[in-house]
Amino acid sequence: MRNFIVAIDGPAGSGKSTVAKILAKKYSMTYLDTGAMYRMCALYFLENNISLNKQENIDKHLPLINIDIDKDSFYLNGKDVSKEIRTPEVTALVSYVAKIKEVREKMVELQRKISFGKDVILDGRDIGTVVFPNADLKIFLVASPEERARRRMKDYEEKGIKEEYNKVLAGILERDFIDSTRKEGPLKKAEDAVEINTDGDTIEETVAKLGVFIGVARQQKAKRDGEKYDI
Ligand code: CDP
């Protein structure tokens, strides 16, 4: 039986990773946070003070970036950077790093390798369009920029990071713009994706909605594979 793949794409702060994590646990699937991978690349360029404007810098440094993921822990060249990749500094840079063609090629290859042979939920921007265009289920999660900014503020508060609402909102709009207008793997709803607006939803409500789609997609897949599957 081929592995079961769920792609969740959408703009910054639409709730993808929160719900993907819960769903993966519920359905005993592997969760892959592809945004964290781009964040690790951004952290590398930030920590080593490398300008992104020179192609030779990219060519030289990209092979030196080694990424390992173990459950909720993210390792950059052997160091656990799970906290560092969520700082406002990394968040402000990440979309500029994620639009570099060579960075995307390396990350997409790694995402396919990590997912190989597993039942997996991936969240990102280009999962349903580029990484796994044949995914069993594609979800495009959206919410208004204001709601997304409020959620991000809450995340920061919980981590003890002080940020201004207007700055967070502007950062989200900027990232949406860069992510949607880049040439390689832009943020885009796949034609066959189900769009879900999470404005005003609690996490549980969004999880419940997505759970219905996962149930149906699993059933359809079981039928294709000639197996029986009860929701
Ligand atoms: O959690 P949040 O919505 O802030 O973003 P994220 O999922 O951690 O992704 C951070 C950034 O990585 C995005 O703004 C994109 O620039 C980039 N990204 C991407 O280009 N492709 C993906 N598949 C995932 C993330």
How far apart are the C-alpha atoms of 182 and 130, rounded to whole Å?
Answer: 14
Residues near 62 by Cβ (< 8 Å), separated by ≥ 6?
41, 102, 103, 106
How far apart are the C-alpha atoms of 221 and 215, rounded to whole Å?
Answer: 10
Q: Whole-prediction pTM value?
A: 0.94
Tell how far the Cα of 224 is from the centroid of ligand 1, in angstroms: 32
Integer distance in angstroms from the first to the last C-alpha of the chain?
Answer: 18
Contact 139, 9 (CB under 8 A): yes
Contact 11, 90 (CB under 8 A): no
Tell how far the Cα of 217 is from the centroid of ligand 1, in angstroms: 25
Tell how far the Cα of 13 is from the centroid of ligand 1, in angstroms: 9
How far apart are the C-alpha atoms of 41 and 8, rounded to whole Å?
Answer: 21
Nearest CA to ligand 1 atom 22: 124
Q: Find how far residue 224's CA is from the centre of its chain.
A: 28
Contact 1, 227 (CB under 8 A): yes
Confidence (pLDDT) at 32? 98
Nearest CA to ligand 1 atom 4: 12
Confidence (pLDDT) at 2? 78
Please choose, from the candidates 72, 97, 93, 68, the residue with its C-alpha nearest in 3D space to the C-alpha of residue 83.
72
Q: DSSP for 159-174?
A: HT----HHHHHHHHHH
How far apart are the C-alpha atoms of 148 and 110, rounded to whole Å?
Answer: 28
Residue 71: pLDDT band (50, 70, 90) is: confident
- Is the model's pLDDT at 83 over the cut of 70? yes
Instruction: Provide, rounded to the nearest whole percent, the portion of the chain with pLDDT above 90.
Output: 91
Please write the tens of the pLDDT for every residue from 127-139: 999 999 999 999 9
User: If DSSP codes are grouped into helix, strand and coil, which group holds residue 189?
Assistant: coil
Tokens read off for 133: 């265009």
The whole-number average pLDDT for the span 170-185 is: 95
Residues with CB under 6 A from ligand 1: 12-13, 17, 34-35, 38-39, 94-95, 98, 124-127, 175, 179
